[in-house]
Chain A
Amino acid sequence: MNNENIIIQLNTVFRDVFNDNKIMVEARTVSSDIDGWDSLMHISLISAIENEFDIKFSMKDIVGMKNVGEMIEIIERECRENM
């Protein structure tokens, strides 16, 4: 799965979790760019991404990711390891 496919799927998850169809995420998107992206929503988002991509994030990844770009890298890594 390449980065472009991941970001398209990720955007759908973001729109669903934040209930906002205007969201357009990109690699440099950070939590302050999206209304309501606090620690609670972060966990909801992580669970939704895990379901979507059938992967499991570690606590190191959950706490450490700084932007959507890092999120994509982790998703790509986990998908690769699952194959």
Chain B
Amino acid sequence: MIFTSVTFIIFIAIIFAIYYAIPKKYQWILLLVGSYAFYMWQIPWYACFLLYSTSITWIFSRLIGNNNENLVKYRSTEEYRSLEKENKLLFKNKTQLKNRNLLVLCLACNIGLLAVLKYTNFAIITLNSLGSNLQLIDRLILPIGISFYIFQSTGYIIDVYRESISPQHNFFKYALFVSFFPQISMGPIGRYDRLAPQLYAQHSFDYDQFTFGLMRMLLGFFKKLAIADILGVYVNAVYADTSSVRGITITIATILYALQLYADFSGYTDIALGIGNCLGIKLDENFKQPYFSRSIPEYWRRWHISLGAWFKDYLFLPILRSSWCMKVGKFLSRKGYKRLSQLVTTIIGLSITWFLTGLWHGASWTFILWGLWFGIFIILSTISSKFYPPNKGILLILNKNKYWHLIQILRTDFVVCLSYILFRSTDLENLMNILFVLFRRFSISNSSQLMTNVLPRTNWALLFLCLLIVFIIEIIDMQGGFLSFLVKTKKITRWFIIYFFIFLIYLCTDISLSTANFLYFDF
């Protein structure tokens, strides 16, 4: 079920009505039933994969939780107190080893499913290019949201293993945490400690919160329908046949693709968070005006925040804290290269993390290169900050200058836009073709012809008006929040703005004439 479809609007209207009509203790059950109905709407049997991942993770979390509980119980006994310190440690290590084996097995089952469905054909293609002669598997499917819910489950089991959270004893309550419908398709990837208590709590109807949620949803629909889908008409036309266009056209299409992707993904997130608000549930923010970032590391703290935080907490930090990585660091420190040791371990951690970030986005070398592209810039940024600290010398003076900030923002956006050429390319051959056109056929003649062929001038004018509106919203968001500002305005102004948004959406859906899916659905 697509968020922008009429079916979905009817669906959430029914959910909202029942949610506040039934006794509050049954609200979470309604959300579970609604979430599975939402997920099974188009292809019901995809729920088998969701159920598999949910069951596996729940069973293993219970086993790990039981081991921890037994350890705590044993610690309170006289027998344990009478043990020597070494024996106490030995007992603790034994439990930890048992739990680690369970964790590894659970990760293998979950990530294994994702690997088989998402990466088998990619592995076959790669092996064939190296001389093998394997057949591609045609029947492999990629269920919607699998990359997201497997990461959410994986985060949960790691948190249980780390004893950051206690495992959920009720299978159905855990199933709701994994399948909660606003976020299952494209995130934000939820954390159990923040999300689960809200899902199981009893919520009374709160008019202010409900209308705030509706306004946030409207903003999401506006970004998706009035901007992303229309930009998509032009971007798709250019990228469908890159061999017949000029370099300037690719450049414009890539910049517009950056805007399309942001409007699409942040629009989806606004709808998801808006639904959450309407239900009294606060989901994690996923975007904080990323195109105003002054560096690539900052960009990744403001773009797809839940994914970046996931990779940081569950992959990057564990790599840096792993015994083998620390051994490398200690070896270099012993040899007298203390600063180099930190740098080397950081580079190892970042390289693995960004390789896998790229791979998570798609089974293609272009995605891997895209991930590594960011990895390189983050490594360079790390190295440069070691030699030129931002709080010293000329950088300290520059960092207080607004024009320098603007240069930094443009520099970051330039690197991000270049990355989208990798992101949007279908394969390496297509990428080479695009780069050839970009650097060898960069002519500005006839650049506007395709633009007006695809969309009439009046539609471009409308699109730029919508982009300007979003730009202003982003500026207000940085000052404290557009919706908070809207709530505080006079009723007549508020309703005028709301109707104006609805009018723009109405005009623009007439132009795009599409029920285009969200871009991150494919991941």
* Alpha-carbon distance between A2 and B50 when the two chains are bound, in angstroms: 50
- Is B7 part of the contact surface with A, judged by Cβ < 8 Å? no
Per-residue interface assignment for chain A, residues 56 to 68, with 1 indicating a CB less than 8 Å from any chain B CB and 0 otherwise: 0011101110000
- Is B391 part of the contact surface with A, judged by Cβ < 8 Å? yes
Write the chain B residue with the least CB distance to A20.
B391
Say whether B317 contacts A59, CB under 8 Å: yes
Give the A interface residue count (CB, 8 A): 16
CB contacts (< 8 Å) of B391 on chain A: these are 20, 35-36
The interface residues of chain B, by DSSP majority, are classed as: helix
- Is B321 part of the contact surface with A, judged by Cβ < 8 Å? yes
User: Do A44 and B317 form a contact, CB below 8 Å, given A35-B390, A36-B391?
Assistant: no
- Is B169 part of the contact surface with A, judged by Cβ < 8 Å? no
Chain B residues 282-325 with CB under 8 Å of chain A are 297, 312-313, 316-318, 320-321
The interface residues of chain A, by DSSP majority, are classed as: helix
CB contacts (< 8 Å) of B382 on chain A: these are 40
Give the B interface residue count (CB, 8 A): 19
* Alpha-carbon distance between A35 and B320 when the two chains are bound, in angstroms: 21
Write the chain B residue with the least CB distance to A58.
B162
Say whether B164 contacts A60, CB under 8 Å: yes
User: Do A19 and B317 form a contact, CB below 8 Å, given A60-B162, A60-B163?
Assistant: no
Say whether B317 contacts A63, CB under 8 Å: yes
CB contacts (< 8 Å) of A4 on chain B: these are none
Say whether B162 contacts A43, CB under 8 Å: no
* Alpha-carbon distance between A20 and B390 when the two chains are bound, in angstroms: 12
Say whether A62 contacts B317, CB under 8 Å: yes
Write the chain B residue with the least CB distance to A46.
B321
- Is B168 part of the contact surface with A, judged by Cβ < 8 Å? no
Say whether B313 contacts A63, CB under 8 Å: yes
Say whether B162 contacts A40, CB under 8 Å: no
Chain A residues 16-66 with CB under 8 Å of chain B are 19-20, 35-36, 38-40, 43-44, 47, 58-60, 62-64
A81 to chain B, nearest CB (A): 10
Say whether B162 contacts A36, CB under 8 Å: no
- Is B459 part of the contact surface with A, judged by Cβ < 8 Å? no
Say whether A62 contacts B297, CB under 8 Å: no
Write the chain B residue with the least CB distance to A39.
B312
Say whether B164 contacts A63, CB under 8 Å: yes
CB contacts (< 8 Å) of B312 on chain A: these are 39
A37 to chain B, nearest CB (A): 11
| Besides A36-B389, A63-B317, 18 new A-B residue pairs in contact (Cβ under 8 A), listed by A number | A20-B391, A35-B390, A35-B391, A36-B385, A36-B390, A36-B391, A39-B316, A43-B320, A43-B321, A44-B342, A58-B162, A59-B321, A60-B162, A60-B163, A60-B164, A62-B317, A62-B321, A64-B164
Instruction: List 14 A-B residue pairs with CB atoms under 8 Å apart, sorted by A's residue number.
Output: A20-B391, A35-B390, A36-B385, A36-B391, A39-B316, A40-B382, A44-B342, A59-B162, A59-B321, A60-B164, A62-B317, A63-B162, A63-B164, A63-B313
